[in-house]
Chains A and B, each alone.
Chain A
């Protein structure tokens, strides 16, 4: 089962807020859990990723939390800025193939 469910579909936060985007999956064979950021007219850019043997990873203002038993992982954006307004995709990997979630459109208001 390759289904990947991402929530929420859209999100509006004020500058400085902490948006949280969630991703739930079924396939326990996924071995790598990245988040991608996509701006309009651009290809997705790798933002941050985690391996399943780690429960949390921080890179700058971005944090992934991983819950293997619940088959969920989430993206937290600390001190969000208007420049973070974009669409975010989780894309867990199986046999080098990414399975993209449905996407979350984030708007950070000034």
Chain B
């Protein structure tokens, strides 16, 4: 498995501002993903963070709202831009280990509240 950390663990932000969430893995991984989990709900994939190229976004998510960087194989950032209260969620980073079963492991999440 991989050890994944996220910063910040939680934040309270004003509407109209932006927040950048960091994801750090303790080993090089091929795949990194960003998910959103709204309160009491399931997880929805936002995008796949590709090393050296643009992220691949899922339907309903756009780069202008959720820009993603992945400068190397152990680090990625997700920015939530021009926030509104509807963006209040838990944002989770996950990684694919690329092993025999290519399991995915999740970070602890960043709890975002937008006022």
A interface with B by C-beta (< 8 Å):
32, 34, 36, 41-46, 49, 51, 89, 91, 93, 96-103
Contacts and interface: CB of A to CB of B under 8 A. Distances in A.
29 contacts: A32-B102, A34-B104, A36-B106, A43-B92, A43-B106, A43-B107, A43-B108, A44-B43, A45-B105, A45-B106, A46-B103, A46-B104, A46-B105, A49-B101, A49-B103, A51-B101, A89-B42, A89-B43, A97-B33, A97-B45, A97-B48, A98-B45, A98-B104, A99-B45, A100-B42, A100-B44, A101-B42, A102-B42, A103-B41
A90 to B, nearest CB: 10
B99 to A, nearest CB: 12
Given A32-B101, A42-B109, A43-B108, 20 more contacts: A32-B102, A34-B103, A34-B104, A36-B106, A41-B111, A42-B108, A43-B107, A44-B92, A45-B105, A46-B1, A46-B104, A46-B105, A91-B43, A93-B104, A96-B31, A96-B96, A97-B33, A98-B94, A102-B42, A103-B41
Classify the interface of chain A: helix, strand, loop or mixed: loop
Interface residues of B, number: 23
Contacts of B102: 32, 96
A58 B105 CA distance: 20
Contacts of B45: 97-99
Contacts of A96: 31, 48, 96, 102
A51 B101 CA distance: 8
